[in-house]
Amino acid sequence: MRLRADQSRQYAARPDMEAGATFAARYAKTRGQTEQLALPLSAEDCALQSMPDASPVKWHLAHTTWFFETFVLAGALPDYRLFSPQFRVLFNSYYVAVGERHPRPERGMLSRPSLDEVRAYRRYVDAHITRLLESGRADAQALELIELGINHEQQHQELIVTDLKHLLAKNPLQPAYLEAPSDAVAAVTAPSAWVAHTDGIRQIGHAGGAFYFDNEAPRHRVFIDGYAMATRPVTVGEYADFMADGGYRRPELWLSEGWDVCSAHGWAAPLYWHTVGEGGDWTAFTLHGAQSLNRAEPVCHVSFFEADAYARWADARLPTEAEWETFAATQAVDGNFLDSGRLHPAPSNSTGAGAAQVFGDVWEWTRSSYEPYPGYRSAPGAVGEYNGKFMANQYVLRGGSCATPASHIRASYRNFFPAAARWQFSGIRLARDIRWNA
């Protein structure tokens, strides 16, 4: 399963491939971070699945290991012996070219293998990957696939957090995953302002020189009309005003499909918001348990449909992904990520003058459909199934969230979800059209 020469850099490490020992340290750090996320959990916590779109923590631990075993060790070590041949089916996600897969909605029924067996599986594969790297026998393709595997595991670190939150929210005890951080957070934030951009031809997509996913390429030119972007994401308080103005009861604000989904599911607020009794105050379930709403925080857990409806109500719109990337390209990748341990969006410290919270806190919906860039070609073989086959019926999100590892995100990064998805830390940044006088 070798990548085409003209595409292999899409999954590659830096051109000056790290020495094996350094690469092994990066691998060990990423694997260790995943284990740390599971440490506060019981075996029961790790085994359950709350919905078909989510997976048990135990499955995430095993699947990320399966990825290294299947795509790296089986090809790089001719004498490698699988930890368990049954795992090849149990922990395959969607790689049809690899073979059979256990049904996704039934991952929570895998009481066996046990959590201890899955952790033994991780140790077994880790030992082989480490020896491969430290021996200097890993060729360029193996290193590229290990780099892809490291980034793949970081994606699953985020999924562990989001899937776990959905699971714990289903428990009537409303248990906390971790204690809330002790530092005080602001209760107010500066009014949002607008950052204007003139029209013109711009370049978007990854420029090369470091790791990137294939869906970020090729870099290409786009024409962008004049537009303005909000300096910060929409807050809880602003979204509550939309709700108070009948936002969920006004079909004229909604796309037709969005209104149908909203009506069918009885949406009246973002996911995880609840009231106690008639006319009670809103609270939100968080990974620290139920908490009162902070009006200064970025609103999150809203679908594309809700984001679009809010934008119409606010006399604005969602940005295109080209607008978002052009806006973000000059901003430092700095913010509230998984590494902070907050695991919840934080209020902006913006004064209102410049862009804030471009990265981290909440993924920001764009109005762009997830589709291939001009000239895109997926890699041959099973690895080519990583991104390309999902380019239908999804919308692009940008910027990362409080559950995204900081080293994983960049301005060109394209996340994607169906329009009705709400369990990710997805939020809203507004855009507007502007016209420049000649």
pLDDT for position 4: 29
CA angle 212, 96, 365 (to 5 degrees): 45
Q: Mean pLDDT across the chain, nearest whole number?
A: 91
State both tokens at 48.
């359950």
Read off the pLDDT of residues 297-316 as tens digits, 9 standing for 90 and up: 999 999 999 999 999 999 99
The pTM of the full predicted model, rounded to 2 decimals, is: 0.93
For residue 40, is the peptide bond before it cis, meaning its omega torsion is within 30 degrees of 0? no
Q: What is the mean pLDDT of residues 20-33?
A: 90
3-state DSSP of the chain = CCCCCCCHHHHCCCCCCCCHHHHHHHHHHHHHHHHHHHCCCCHHHHHCCCCCCCCCHHHHHHHHHHHHHHHHHHHHCCCCCCCCCCHHHHCCCCCCCCCCCCCHHHHHHCCCCCHHHHHHHHHHHHHHHHHHHHHCCCCHHHHHHHHHHHHHHHHHHHHHHHHHHHHHHCCCCCCCCCCCCCCCCCCCCCCCCEEEECCEEEEECCCCCCCCCHHHCCCEEEEECCEEEECCCCEHHHHHHHHHCCHHHCHHHCCHHHHHHHHHHCCCCCCCEEECCCCCCEEEEEECEEEECCCCCECCCCCHHHHHHHHHHCCCECCCHHHHHHHHCCCCCCCCCHHHCCCCCCCCCCCCCCCCCCCCCCEEEEEEECCCCCCCCCCCCHHHHCCHHHCCCCEEEECCCCCCCHHHCCCCCCEEECCCCCCCCEECCCEEECCCCC
What is the pLDDT confidence band of residue 13, given thresholds at 50, 70 and 90?
very low
The answer, yes or no, to whether residue 21 has pLDDT greater than 80, is: no
Would you mind telling me the total number of residues written for the chain in this entry? 438
Q: First and final CA of the chain: distance in angstroms?
A: 55
> Which regions of the chain carry the CATH code 1.20.120?
8-169
Least confident span in 27-41, 187-201, 391-405: 187-201
Give CATH for domain 8-169. 1.20.120
The answer, yes or no, to whether residue 381 has pLDDT greater than 80, is: no
Read off the pLDDT of residues 102-126 as tens digits, 9 standing for 90 and up: 999 999 999 999 999 999 999 999 9
The answer, yes or no, to whether residue 39 has pLDDT greater than 70, is: yes
The answer, yes or no, to whether residue 17 has pLDDT greater than 50, is: no
Least confident span in 58-67, 158-167, 196-205, 351-360: 351-360
Least confident span in 70-79, 337-346, 383-392: 383-392
Task: Look at the domain 194-433 and name its fold.
Answer: paralog of FGE (formylglycine-generating enzyme) (3.90.1580)
Q: What is the mean pLDDT of residues 96-102?
A: 93
Q: What is the mean pLDDT of residues 14-36?
A: 79
Contact between 131 and 138 under an 8 Å Cβ cutoff? The reply is no
pLDDT for position 437: 52
Name which of 89, 106, 210 is nearest 151 in CA terms: 210
Task: Put residue 32 in one of left, alpha, beta given phi > 0 → left and psi -120 to 50 → alpha.
Answer: alpha
Q: What is the distance, to the nearest Å, from the Cα of residue 310 to the centroid of all Cα atoms in its chain?
A: 22
> Which regions of the chain carry the CATH code 3.90.1580.10?
194-433
State both tokens at 421.
């998805």
The answer, yes or no, to whether residue 351 has pLDDT greater than 80, is: no
The answer, yes or no, to whether residue 438 has pLDDT greater than 60, is: no
Read off the pLDDT of residues 47-75 as tens digits, 9 standing for 90 and up: 999 999 999 999 999 999 999 999 999 98
Q: Which of 163-172, 349-358, 375-384 is predicted most confidently?
A: 163-172
Least confident span in 154-163, 250-259, 371-380: 371-380
